[in-house]
Structure formats: C-alpha cells, structure tokens
C-alpha cells in the first residue's frame, strides 16, 4: 500500500507541475476564468476585493481537484496492470493439496 501512496504523491506532483503552467497570471485563459469567477462572486453579494480572492481560491481548489483525480486515475491503471500481470502468475502456480499431511521440522 505504501508503494501506491508513493506513486500517488509522485503523480500528484507531476500533474500539478503540468497544470500549473496554465494557471499563470499571464495566461489568457487563466485571466478570463478569474474575471468570470470574480463577476460570479460579486453577483452572489461579495465586494470586488473579496470576490477576487474567492475567485483565486476557487481556481486553486479546482486545480487541486483535477490534480487529485488525474493522479488517482494513474494509480488505478497501475494497479490494474499489476492485477492483469498476476493472472498468468496464478495460472502457473501448482495447487496445494489440503488433505496431504503437514510437513514440519
């Protein structure tokens, strides 16, 4: 289980570094998203300053949710591949005769 957690953390770091490239203040899509969310929070009753902070926080949370989802998908596929590789391993194992006498020291 520790291996899966390690891989999960590594994949989170990878996806975060890739997605954060598009969350730079100079990115046009990022600016448009912040502006749209600021307007949304203002329409909900926040003042301009609070709305801008809420918009930035919303983008951060959304980014983290996407990072987590992508990392969990990666771990799922890794575990699926390991499980598929175990099928031939299980097929070549010889059966254990449970009625045979115990072998001990």
pLDDT (tens digit per residue) in 53-92: 999 999 999 999 999 999 999 999 999 999 999 999 988 8
User: Does residue 56 sit within a domain?
Assistant: yes
User: Does residue 36 sit within a domain?
Assistant: yes
Residue range(s) defining the domain that contains residue 71: 2-92
Count the domains in the chain. Answer: 1
User: Does residue 101 sit within a domain?
Assistant: no
- pTM confidence score: 0.75
d(CA 7, CA 100): 42
Average pLDDT over the chain, rounded to whole?
91
User: Does residue 84 sit within a domain?
Assistant: yes
Please, are residues 4 and 72 in contact by the beta-carbon 8 Å criterion? Answer: no
User: Does residue 99 sit within a domain?
Assistant: no
Mean of the pLDDT values across residues 31-39? 95
CA 19, chain centre distance (Å): 12
């Amino acid at each position: 289980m520790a291996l899966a957690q390690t891989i999960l953390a590594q994949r989170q770091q990878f996806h975060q570094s890739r997605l954060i490239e598009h969350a730079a203040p100079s990115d046009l899509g990022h600016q448009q998203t912040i502006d749209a969310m600021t307007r949304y929070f203002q329409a909900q009753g926040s003042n301009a300053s609070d709305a801008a902070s809420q918009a930035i926080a919303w983008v951060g949370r959304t980014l983290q949710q996407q990072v987590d989802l992508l990392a969990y998908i990666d771990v799922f596929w890794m575990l699926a591949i390991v499980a598929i590789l175990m099928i031939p391993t299980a097929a070549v194992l010889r059966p254990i005769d449970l009625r045979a006498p115990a072998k001990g020291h």
